[in-house]
């Protein structure tokens, strides 16, 4: 008995319609617009947190240095390259820069890693390749800086000429771009985070992040030596402390003219 004939049934291939495809693309675009900025923000926060940790280590190293130098942190005058590199002087020697201070802390403060002075969150530097190449601060002889460190753009400024007995609210080091600003805001062109603020490490050991330092003395975020508030980082040290200087680089790695204590 013959089997009944069956019809060949063609299955339609499943697929997206144009409208469905456009809908999926739109959803992916919306998700990307949410996720990508979030990932960027997380990375930025992580990098700035690392900077805060690095500044804390710079502060701790500075206090170790002071224990070996009669309570004095790195001074405005330091010995140059040679067997006594990075030692405090009252006369002679070389004018301190952020680089030579880093060298002094490497010699007498135990802070030898050059990467601690570099920020992966640096938004303005022109020395990205040089920053990546940084390893140690000192040559193996410990008598001078490495060429790689000299070529880098350091993310932090430093206050030379301090004494560890100064008030706990006295800054030791800070995110680059604030020392010469009269507005209490970090420099858009030279600030490590542009004008988005920065960290400061204090003699008391704490590190704080500031969006800005306040627009007036009354709303200032920092404390002068007499206990009043200020938005000028230079006023945290009395003007009669003539050996105190606020040092930093610009965004090319060049040294900026030192700012004096007391504001000017």
The pairing of strands 207-210 and 259-260 is unpaired
Q: Per mean pLDDT, which range of 90-94, 95-99, 128-132 is the poorest?
A: 90-94
Q: What is the pLDDT of residue 9?
A: 47
Work out the number of other CB atoms within 10 angstroms of the CB of residue 49. Answer: 13
The pLDDT-based confidence of 98 (bands split at 50, 70, 90) is very high
Q: What is the pTM of this model?
A: 0.85
Rounded distance, CA 140 to CA 40, Å? 38
Rounded distance, CA 172 to CA 164, Å? 10
Top pLDDT among 2 and 53 is at 53
Q: What is the pLDDT of residue 27?
A: 85
Work out the number of other CB atoms within 10 angstroms of the CB of residue 94. Answer: 13
Q: Show me where the domains of the chain are located.
A: 20-81+96-256
CA-closest candidate to residue 175, choices 200, 212, 195 = 200
Q: What is the pLDDT of residue 12?
A: 53
Indicate if the pLDDT at residue 194 is higher than 80: yes
């Amino acid at each position: 008995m013959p089997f009944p004939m069956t019809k060949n049934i063609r299955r339609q291939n499943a697929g997206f319609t144009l409208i469905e495809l456009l809908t999926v693309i739109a959803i992916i675009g919306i998700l990307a617009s949410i996720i990508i900025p979030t990932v960027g923000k997380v990375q930025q926060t992580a990098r700035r947190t690392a900077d805060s940790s690095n500044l804390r280590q710079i502060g701790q190293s500075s206090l170790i240095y002071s224990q070996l130098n009669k309570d004095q942190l790195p001074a405005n005058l330091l010995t140059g390259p040679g067997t006594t590199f990075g030692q405090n002087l009252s006369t002679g020697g070389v004018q301190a820069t952020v680089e030579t201070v880093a060298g002094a802390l490497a010699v007498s403060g135990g802070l030898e890693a050059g990467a601690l002075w570099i920020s992966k969150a640096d938004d303005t530097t022109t020395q990205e390749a040089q920053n990546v190449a940084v390893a140690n601060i000192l040559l193996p002889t410990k008598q001078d800086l490495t060429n790689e460190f000299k070529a880098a753009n350091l993310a932090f400024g430093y206050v030379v000429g301090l004494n560890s007995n100064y008030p706990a609210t006295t800054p030791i080091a800070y995110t680059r771009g604030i020392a010469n600003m009269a507005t209490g805001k970090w420099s858009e062109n030279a600030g490590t985070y542009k004008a988005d603020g920065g960290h400061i490490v204090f003699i008391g050991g704490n590190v704080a992040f500031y969006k800005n330092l306040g627009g007036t003395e009354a709303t200032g975020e920092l404390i002068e030596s007499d206990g009043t508030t200020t938005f000028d980082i230079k006023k945290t040290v009395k003007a009669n402390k003539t050996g105190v200087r606020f040092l930093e680089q610009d965004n090319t790695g060049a040294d900026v003219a030192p700012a004096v204590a007391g504001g000017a």
